Structure 1
Amino acid sequence: MMGSVGEKRIEDDLSYPILLAERVRSAADEAESFKADCWEVGKQVDRLSQMLRTLVRFTTSVQSLYERPIRRVIAEVSKNLERALTLVRKCKRHSILSLVVRITSATDFRKVLNLLDASVGDMKWLMGVLDAENNGSASGTFLSLPPIASNDPIISWVWSCIATVQMGQLTDRIEAANNLASLAQDNDRNKKIAVEEGGVPPLLKLLKESSSMEAQITAANALLVLANEPERVRSIVEEMGAPIVVQVLRDSPMKVQIPVAKLIARMAEYDPVAQEDFARENVIRPLVTLLSFETFLDDSGTRLGKQSIHSIVQINKEMEKNSWTSSNSRNYSYGPYANSYSNLHMDGSTRGGNYRKERENENPEVKIQLKINCAEALWMLAKGSASNSGRITETKGLLCLAKLVEKEQGELQYNSLMTIMEITAAAEWNSDLRRAAFKMNSSAAKAVIDQLLRVIKELDSPTLQIPAIRSIGSLARTFPARETRVIGPLVTQLGNNNQEVAMEAAIALAKFASPDNFLSMDHCKSIIEFNGVPPLMRLLTCGEKTQLHAVVLLCYLAIHAGDHKALEQARVLTAIEGADRTMFGQHPDLKDLVPRAIYQLNLYHTHTGVHPQRQLYAP
């Protein structure tokens, strides 16, 4: 590894201590006092000089040199040689006045000799680490401790590991990468040292260039350990990590793709620049390809009988809009997911079908783990990114995700749901994405919505219900007034025993009822007609956060359907008037909403008699 831009060549750094050693030897030969001590200094300096010259020869013969410990050790050696030169020069013949000023003692020589002895130890260790091929693997040097690292042993162990990963034989590189990961796993300080001392480039090199599956897995896992903090992830990105990682994802067997997909997820989670870099390298297509592998095979034939001719024609038309020619299309030419399958599996990989048989024969546990990690990677790539969410939908990823939510369980189902949640969250604020991906006549949108509603209604799992509810809420502006089938399940969840699920249902329904929604009046009537007011009133007795969202939704209902009899029967006016005003700070819109809601309710509901207009919308 070359030094950074503007840093001197390593040969230039080495020339200075060699020159110093020559000067010390010359001064020792000219000494008039403390001759025996000067001779000892000269002897140690000769050993150092010989080691330095050996090191120069070594550095010029190695193509990929790990320079970090060399520069640190050479800087320390040079400092100690400077002290030795200053001391020995005092021992030359001088005037009486100079001798008075320059008092030298045996203690000074002991100190300098100790420093030179430490430098000899550092040089021995350094040569052992760098020339691992002739001096044994990193495991031997890993146990030794150079004097320069006596106060911080970790630094020498990290140096030893990195040097071997960069310069050793393949088996030693694998062992050293494992050792480095093990050290880094202990604490964040060790991770920081590993990155600062240049551990990322050799790990990326091992990942990229190695023909060994074990080596690639080890390198990916080591990088994964380091990539748990934005600054360290950025270090991987700056070493051109994204294109390397994406290329390995495309060209490797499944067992390598598993940790690589996990690494993509981790990097995208911690660094928005990594998100962008991965998108630029077109990582989403191979991820969706891997995620969809064998996903559509189980029902490609059986689904045909359940579709009307019209729906099949519509699905095929939609698929053809972004279709690519595929030699495999004749094998999967039926069913609503057929074109999606063939399109995905012909793209995103430069290796063609090299690993197709290996994939088909792979252990089911390996296949499922790869899908789990690919789904997590898509989740993190979509998070907060409308552009990446759009790329996922363009690859027909929505169909794949819907299918996984339908058929899978556990972590894969959860990761798929979370990916959908992030895509819908992006679509909520990006009208272009919303219109492109979630048209009501789109088979992908229909499949996703069907599965979200199934999760909300049928699965008694808050972990899964919450992202499904949030996703429906994010799509509130896409549903026409007649699409009341999405309102009912959300209203039902207002009465869920889990307070967080109930609160999320209130938040989602508020997006339907909000004035920002063009159809808010129709949706408010639907919420009331699905008997949403009683469970909403019960939420007012729950925690402060839940109360807040219940009040917001009640205000929307009052503003848009204030004449409905159900609001008077539930004494909504009294509830809103009694709302805790401290909540206004948490939701600034309440300052305007509450007075408007009270005005609307007073307009239609009186203490004596019934306003005739109320009967217009009586259930």
Structure 2
Amino acid sequence: MAEEEKTIQDELSLLILLSDRVIKSALEAESSKAECGELAKQADRLVHKLRSAARLANQPLYDRPLRRVAADVRKNLERAITLARKCRHSGVLRQVFAIAATADFRRVGALLESSIADVTWILSIFDSDSGTNLSLPPIASNDPILAMLWSSIASVQIGQLRDRVDAANNLASLARDNDRNKKMIVEEGGIVPLLKLLKEGASPEAQIAAALALSSLGNDQDRVQLIARELAVPVIVKVLGDSPARVQVAVANLVAKMAEMDTTVQEELGRENVTRPLVTLLAFDTVLDDPNLQSGTPSIHSLVQIARDPAVTNIHNSSSSSSLHSDGSSRGGNHKKERGIESPELKLELKISCAKALWKLSRGSLPNSKKITETKGLLCLAKLIEKERGELQRNCLMTVMELAAVAETNADLRRASFKPNSPAAKAVLEQLLRVVNEENSPALLIPAIKSIGCLARTFPAKESRIIGPLVSRLGHRDADVATEAANSLGKFACPDNFNHVEHSKAIIEFDGVPRLMNLIKIIGRDQVNELVLLCYLALHVGNNRAFEQVRAQDVLEGAARSVVAQHPDLRELFAKAVHHLTLYQTGAHTHRQAYAP
């Protein structure tokens, strides 16, 4: 611990003292005077380098490589002192020592030359005029990557702007190569200089390079936690709200990566209110038909208009304006003025990145989901799902899916954000149904179908538009889409749903049973969702002739044993379903035997 607690000045002072001792001992030698003289010259060259390093250490600098080199230099100087002191012996001891002295001097001399080269290299990477040093010092001869990392990290911290950008890009490239490089960058102290570069905002290129490097490092939970531990989250949120669009793209991608990797960091980002600037950026140039405008409550569109033109602020009440400024979503007025002249491609890329960040932030997080829905995020997502295509549309659907999944387990969020008569909920449902009815891509259908299933308990019994499209997707050629449709329909028909009987009748009216049976007949797939839905339908509407026509009882009996073996908790459900069908099947009194899975 004592070694670790020493300042770099203390380390260098000790090395200078040891170098002086080498010189003194070498000059006092009684034997091998020529060799000791050479040793003294090497120590003198080294001490001059060390004094130059000590002068640099008076200012803030990246001292990781200097500490590593100092540890080796200390060992080499101690060996040189020991060797020089042996040369002070006389008589018999002098003659004995002379036999082995030549080889020892050669080895120690080589070590001192390596130390001189190492310290010289260290001085070169601290020279702001030399740029990134890609030469190889002796200390890194067995691991060349180490020298590249040290040089790049030092340049990021103290170099000229162009060198800092190049060094950050070099770190990002090295991090993308393999996990070992990522681990070394973190261990060698690369996070703090990159965050400093991101925070300073010296240029958009510098911020983008820093964000890309941090994103490359952040593919592991432990590393993401280390990044957050360096107070990265407030920096990230501030830069997101106060930067040009191309910087915001890189930072939004960083938010998505960090939120995906660690739930603790995900919640910390939410506490810093990163969701509001993300929604604001996502809604930029998107006109939202928000009925709240009539009642004086500002929509996302109106808030974006305020951010675009500060003069408009005067026509809004002070509380709305102050809340916007308090969370950072209206920062960077100068950059907002530039937003109108940015290319459509860049605007699209920014929206894609923001939608992805909201998707990762909302996944499994009640606080973040509340924040997104409270900022009129649902209206914005619905509008983009309607008018956009490709990756942006999918990311918005994935965000809605995650919000719906959280709402499924939280009644308060369901009531607050997904009420059937809520304008935002209506807008979202319209788009989900449109996707289910019109799209054919599994990447779009699965999140739309899953979203509807998660909200199954919010729909009244008379809501007949929903069941039909889901039933039709039971026949989709993609097995994952069909299974998701069965899973969602199961949430409508399960006993936990207050309207399960009415929903079950609707499923049967839309020919759900024959479609479901065709799906179950597909061989080689896990059919638990399909069979569970069939059980629910049998329990609630088992007297319908549709079951007898497709021999549903035989199918349940045939499949039950294998399913129950893997899912013992379903034993009672299958037994009740088979028993219920037996009561209504023609010739039930002649049934071969009672069913017992």
TM-score, normalization: structure 1? 0.88
The match for 1:227 is: 218
Give matches, 1:144-159, under 5 Å: 144-159=135-150
Q: What residue identity is the alignment partner of 1:280?
A: R
The alpha-carbon distance between structure 1 residues 329 and 378, as it changes in their structure 2 partners (threshold 3 A), is closer
Map 1:3-14 → 2, pairs under 5 A: 7-14=5-12
- Structure 1 range deviating more: 538-547 or 549-558: 538-547
1:172 and 2:163 correspond: yes
Deviations, residues 189-243 of structure 1 (Å, cap 9, x unaligned) = 1122112111111111111113311211221122222222212212211111111
Deviations 1:421-471, CA, capped at 9 Å, x for gaps: 100011111122111111111010111111011000111111100000000
Kindly indicate whether residue 381 of structure 2 is the aligned counterpart of residue 401 of structure 1.
yes
Q: How does 1:379-528 map to 2 (within 5 A)?
A: 379-528=359-508
Q: 2:87 aligns with which of 78, 86, 91?
A: 91
**Change over 3 Å in CA distance of 1:550–1:318 after alignment to 2:** farther
Equivalent of 1:82, from 78, 82, 101?
78
Cα gap change, 1:551 to 1:98, in 2 (>3 Å):
farther
Q: Residue 79 of structure 1: CA displacement?
A: 1.0
Task: Give, in angstroms, the shift of residue 5 of structure 1.
Answer: 12
Distance 1:487 1:4 in 2: 71
Q: How does 1:101-116 map to 2 (within 5 A)?
A: 104-116=100-112
Contact 2:308–2:336 (Cα < 8 Å) also in 1: no
**CA pair 4-546 structure 1, distance change in 2 beyond 3 A:** farther
Of 546, 554, 559 in structure 2, the residue corresponding to residue 566 of structure 1 is 546
CA displacement 1:105-134 (0-9 Å, x = unmatched): 31111111111111111011000001233x
d(CA) in 1 for partners of 2:216 and 2:307?
A: 41
8 Å CA contact 1:503, 1:546 repeated in 2: no
- Which of 19, 32, 35 is the aligned partner of 1:34? 32
Q: Which amino acid aligns with 1:219?
A: A
CA distance in 2, matches of 1:91, 1:605: 109
Partner of 1:309: none
2:230 corresponds to? 239
Matches within 5 A, 1:545-556: 545-556=525-536
State the superposition RMSD in angstroms.
Answer: 2.9
Q: Provide the C-alpha distance between the structure 2 equivalents of 1:540 and 1:193, rounded to a whole number of angstroms.
A: 52
Q: 1:424 to 1:17 in 2, by over 3 A?
A: same
1:71 aligns with 2:62: no
Q: Please, which of 343, 366, 369 is the counterpart of residue 346 of structure 2? A: 366
Count of paired positions: 580
Q: Which residue of structure 1 aligns with residue 595 of structure 2? A: none
Provide Cα deviations, 1:247-294, integer angstroms capped at 9, x if missing partner. 001111111111111111111111112211211111000000000001
Distance 1:608 1:58 in 2: 94
- Cα distance, 1:186 vs. partner? 1.8
The answer on whether the counterparts of 1:576 and 1:598 sit within 8 Å (CA) in structure 2 is yes
Distance apart, 1:102 and its partner CA = 10
Match of 1:274 among 251, 262, 265: 265
Does the Cα contact within 8 Å between 2:195 and 2:232 map onto a contact in 1? yes
* C-alpha distance 319-269 of structure 1, shift in aligned 2 (>3 A): same
Extract unaligned runs of 5+ from structure 2. Answer: 310-315, 591-597
Provide, for residues 44-77 of structure 1, a one-character-per-residue CA deviation record: whole Å limited to 9, x for no partner. Answer: 11111111111111111x2x31010010011111
Q: Which runs of 4+ in 1 moved over 6 A?
A: 3-6, 97-103, 320-327, 342-347
- CA drift at 1:412: 0.3
Deviation at 1:94, TM superposition (A): 6.1
Q: Write the letter of the residue equivalent to 2:82.
A: T
Gaps of 5+ in 1: 304-311, 332-337, 611-619
Does 161-170 or 80-89 show the bigger shift? Answer: 80-89
Within 1, Cα distance between the matches of 2:196 and 2:301?
A: 36
Which stretch of the first structure deviates more once superposed, 519-528 or 389-398? 519-528
Structure 1 residues 327 and 121, CA gap change in structure 2 (3 angstroms): closer
Q: Is the 8 A contact 1:289 1:345 kept in 2?
A: no
Check whether the contact 2:283–2:301 (CA below 8 A) recurs between aligned residues: no
Distance across 1 between alignment mates of 2:364 and 2:38: 67
Say which SS state the counterpart of residue 484 (structure 1) adopts: coil
Higher mean C-alpha displacement, 66-75 vs 202-211? 202-211
Contact kept? 2:284, 2:304, Cα under 8 Å: no
Structure 1 residue 531: Cα displacement: 1.0
Task: Please state how far the C-alpha of 1:319 moved relative to its aligned partner.
Answer: 4.9
**Equivalent AA in structure 1 for residue 159 of structure 2:** G
Residue-by-residue CA offset, 1:553-597 (whole Å, 9 max, x unaligned): 111111111112211222111110111522224433321111111
1:137 matched to 2:128: no
Match of 2:206 in 1: 215
- Identical aligned residues as a percent: 55
In 1, the alpha carbon distance for the partners of 2:104 and 2:92 equals 20
One-letter amino acid of the structure 1 residue matched with residue 401 of structure 2: M
Tell me: CA distance 1:92–1:49, structure 2 relative to 1, closer, same or farther (3 Å): same
Task: Determine helix, strand or coil for the equivalent of 1:252.
Answer: coil
How far residue 362 of structure 1 moved from its aligned partner, in angstroms, is: 1.2
Residue by residue over 1:2-28, the C-alpha shift from the partner in whole angstroms, topping out at 9 and shown as x without a partner, is x99963211011111111112211211
Q: Cα gap change, 1:11/1:330 in structure 2, threshold over 3 Å: closer, same or farther?
A: closer
Give, as a single letter, the amino acid of the residue that structure 2 aligns with 1:525: K
Structure 1 position 368, deviation (Å) = 0.6
Distance 1:174 1:329 in 2: 30
Letter in 1 for 2:541: A
Corresponding residue to 2:16 among 14, 18, 33: 18
Look up the equivalent residue of 2:489 and give its one-letter code: L
- Quick one: which of 539, 564, 576 aligns to 1:596? 576
TM-score of the superposition, structure 2-length normalised?
A: 0.91
Q: Measure the CA separation in 1 of the matches of 2:556 and 2:19.
A: 87
Q: Distance in 2 between matches of 1:262 and 1:565?
A: 54
Alignment of 1:281-300 (within 5 A): 281-296=272-287
Question: How far 1:185 sits from its partner (Å)?
Answer: 2.1
> How many angstroms apart in 2 are the aligned matches of 1:10 and 1:180?
25
SS at match of 1:557: helix
Cα deviation, residue 98, structure 1: 9.6
C-alpha contact (below 8 Å) 1:315/1:443 kept by paired residues: no
Q: 1:608 to 1:559 in 2, by over 3 A?
A: closer
Matches of 1:267 and 1:19, distance apart in 2 = 47
Instruction: Quote the Cα distance in structure 1 between the aligned partners of 2:110 and 2:588.
Output: 102
Measured after TM superposition, the shift of residue 95 of structure 1 is: 7.8
Counterpart CA distance in 2 for 1:369 and 1:115 is 54
